[in-house]
Amino acid sequence: MPRLQITTCSPAETEKLGVCVGSLLQPGSFLALRGGLGGGKTCLTRGVVAVVAPESSGLVASPTYAIMNCYPGSTPVYHFDFYRLTCDDDIVELGFEDYFYGDGVCVVEWSERLTELMPPDVLTLLFEYGGDERRLITISSSGQKSDNILVRLADLLQMQKKL
Ligand SMILES: Nc1ncnc2c1ncn2[C@@H]1O[C@H](COP(=O)(O)OP(=O)(O)OP(=O)(O)O)[C@@H](O)[C@H]1O
Ligand SMILES: [Mg+2]
Q: How many domains does the chain have?
A: 1
Q: Looking at the predicted structure, is the pLDDT value of residue 79 above 80?
A: yes
Ligand 1 mean position, distance from CA 91 (Å): 25
Evaluate whether residue 9 is within a structural domain.
Answer: yes
* Distance between CA atoms of residues 138 and 129, nearest Å: 12
Predicted confidence at residue 163, as pLDDT, reads 73
Give me the pLDDT at residue 68, please: 94
CATH number at 13 reads 3.40.50.300
Residue 161: is its pLDDT beyond 90?
A: no
Q: Looking at the domain assignment, is residue 105 inside a domain? A: yes
Spatial distance between the Cα atoms of 133 and 131, rounded to a whole number of angstroms = 6
Q: Which ligand is nearest to the CA of 33?
A: 1
What is the span of the domain harbouring residue 99? Answer: 3-134
With respect to residue 144, please indicate whether it lies within any of the assigned structural domains.
Answer: no
Q: Smallest Cα–Cα separation from 2: which of 157, 156, 148, 132?
A: 148
pLDDT band at 1 (very low <50, low <70, confident <90, very high): low
Q: What confidence tier does 98 reach under pLDDT thresholds 50, 70, 90?
A: very high
Residue 153 lies in a domain: no
- Could you tell me if residue 110 is inside a domain? yes
Q: What is the pLDDT of residues 11-60, one digit of tens each?
A: 999 999 999 999 999 999 999 999 999 999 999 999 999 999 999 999 99
Residue 56 lies in a domain: yes
Longest dimension (CA), the chain: 48
Q: In this structure, is residue 139 part of a structural domain?
A: no
Helix, strand, coil shares of the chain as percentages rounded to 5? Answer: 35, 25, 35
Q: Is the per-residue pLDDT at 153 higher than 90?
A: yes
Is 129 strand, coil or helix? strand
Q: Which of 59, 109, 55 shows the shortest CA–CA distance to 83?
A: 109
Q: Do the domain assignments include residue 160?
A: no
Cβ < 5 A residues, ion ligand 2: 41-42, 62, 109
